[in-house]
Structure 1
């Protein structure tokens, strides 16, 4: 193993197009896109005997995901009789502003970037699959309720169809058989597939200024009860159908068809919000959607709702409508963000 003096790795944030909430059920499909804002992690030798983590977010915003990422790489190395030296890990994020998150999957992005940088510093180059698996093991140790969709988007980039594995099961696999065995074993339910970007449509992203968390919203007492109800099954069934239809629309370049599925996804989330009482649709997110609909687009919350971001898809040629949407969003307290989908990430060499 050859250590490098400094390694810099980036990982993009994400947006859910369709499938959020349902995707937390293992094997249930979703569609995500990576965005052109990222987290940068720089790893070098520590000048002290201990690993030092520095972040431009300040001490209160230091994520436990960085420590979890270092720990999972350390476990993999330890299985080979190796150990991580004392490191200096510096984190810089464009997924936050003044310590406030935009809701673009910063936890997943910082985990992926840290795993990649620490592994490379220690002489390991990971395939996308192994980078994803290590990163998901790290995030699941903190909270196994998250789907890992953010981790997948940060790993592969571009547009992807994603199905989550059973996170509790893969954690137990790593605990019983080791991290290397977990990297090589089948993960039931897991699927990641690249998709083409929408044809003839442009993406607009609006930020409400309020943070939200899918895991915390999905763990309310009402929601836990609702997950065992018939309406939960109907929601997952509807979401699955929407995702499959949206995949077909993306694959065939059917822009109007994709807009129809985004509208269906919004209605399904609204029904979920009414039945499970999650507070997905805030005043700002409702306005975001209504404004987009009024100019012929389709819009919905992206991710947890209850704050964070919403997205809209509009005809790419409708420049006056796009400008009007941004003006009306601003008037409604929704800040348009200059965010675009990111390109696919190149494959690394496997270990």
Structure 2
């Protein structure tokens, strides 16, 4: 089963608050998870982590792992949650060999910031739901993968999960994490998956036909969870500034989403620039480095060539994005990026048609 990677277009940081919007896009680079039934013991391996494959056995319905240290935390969380769902649906648990192959990180270990942990989580839930023949919809897949991912990361909006599940361009509003935590202690997993989650909304967007997305990678990886943690600490000290940032981000994203609905490239580009300024202000009062020197250079070059540009995701490294009219020539832009050590990622938008 495949799950695509993602990139944030706008709305970062504000989207971690319940009900606040972001625009995210799914990309045509994937994590592939396969499951094959086995006897007596199971394995988990990855093309990216050949030296640290995991063997496991069962103690009742619990998975017992032979390796104490492993890089598969999100994957293991997805397994545990999906098997809880399987038991609730009356399935008998089995042994199996589970294999992961990712296109989201390079073969030499470079991380592009395309949401590999989210895609691994989504792909694992999808593969095991198929293996156990479990009832699954995109909404249930999102909720299961969101819970499993949140159990490991502990923060974030889960917008990368939504992009991997629903595909294409989406307007995503995050759910209330505190509500979820309290409900998990009160109701069964099956009931929880079938509830409406406060604040949660996913709208599929149709981009203007002439809108082109360019992606530049700065060569410097960043930790989303650590950056979000730092902003979380800052918002408690700068409550008024943070509240103003949230309100401005919501207004900006509402206008940008309206631009998608009406097919207005100029509106989308204008609001992307507004969102960049908002993130720069957030960086200033939170003392969190969002737009690095390399990302600033990436954006400046794009703006010089008629594109609207900003950081993507938490910033601090990884990727920047450009929205530009298809009629604009981009050869010189890409050459200027290359001269500054910025790598163009030749990716396109992936639309998820079904759960296969």
The normalised TM-score by structure 2 is: 0.91
Q: What are the equivalent positions in structure 2 for 1:1-351 lying under 5 Å apart?
A: 9-47=1-39, 49-58=40-49, 59=51, 62-97=71-106, 98-220=108-230, 223-227=232-236, 228-319=238-329, 322-346=330-354
**Whole-angstrom distance in 2 between the partners of 1:75 and 1:96:** 30
Aligned partner of residue 116 in structure 1, secondary structure: helix
Contact kept, 8 Å, 1:158 with 1:345, in 2: the verdict is no
**Whole-angstrom distance in 2 between the partners of 1:46 and 1:307:** 42
Unpaired stretches in structure 2, ≥5 consecutive residues: 53-69
Shift of 1:78: 2.0
Cα deviation 1:156-185 (Å, max 9, x = unaligned):
001111111122432432343121011012
**Whole-angstrom distance in 1 between the partners of 2:92 and 2:76:** 15
**Whole-angstrom distance in 1 between the partners of 2:208 and 2:18:** 26
Shift of 1:76: 1.1
**Whole-angstrom distance in 2 between the partners of 1:167 and 1:82:** 29
CA RMSD of aligned residues (A): 1.6
Aligned partner of residue 342 in structure 1, secondary structure: coil
**Residue equivalent to 2:56:** none
Unpaired stretches in structure 1, ≥5 consecutive residues: 1-8
Cα deviation 1:91-112 (Å, max 9, x = unaligned):
1111101222211111111111
Contact kept, 8 Å, 1:14 with 1:104, in 2: the verdict is yes
Contact kept, 8 Å, 1:161 with 1:192, in 2: the verdict is yes
Contact kept, 8 Å, 2:306 with 2:328, in 1: the verdict is no
Aligned partner of residue 285 in structure 1, secondary structure: helix
Q: 4+ runs of 1 displaced by more than 4 Å?
A: none
Aligned partner of residue 229 in structure 2, secondary structure: coil
Once structures 1 and 2 are overlaid, which stretch shifts more, 267-276 or 55-64?
A: 55-64
Contact kept, 8 Å, 2:27 with 2:349, in 1: the verdict is yes
Cα deviation 1:274-293 (Å, max 9, x = unaligned):
11111111111000100011
Shift of 1:347: 5.6
Cα deviation 1:291-334 (Å, max 9, x = unaligned):
01101110011101001111001120122xx1111111111121
The normalised TM-score by structure 1 is: 0.92
Contact kept, 8 Å, 2:126 with 2:355, in 1: the verdict is no
**Residue equivalent to 1:5:** none
Contact kept, 8 Å, 2:78 with 2:124, in 1: the verdict is yes
Cα deviation 1:127-164 (Å, max 9, x = unaligned):
10000011001011112311110000000001111111
Once structures 1 and 2 are overlaid, which stretch shifts more, 171-180 or 331-340?
A: 171-180
**Whole-angstrom distance in 1 between the partners of 2:23 and 2:155:** 18
Shift of 1:57: 1.3
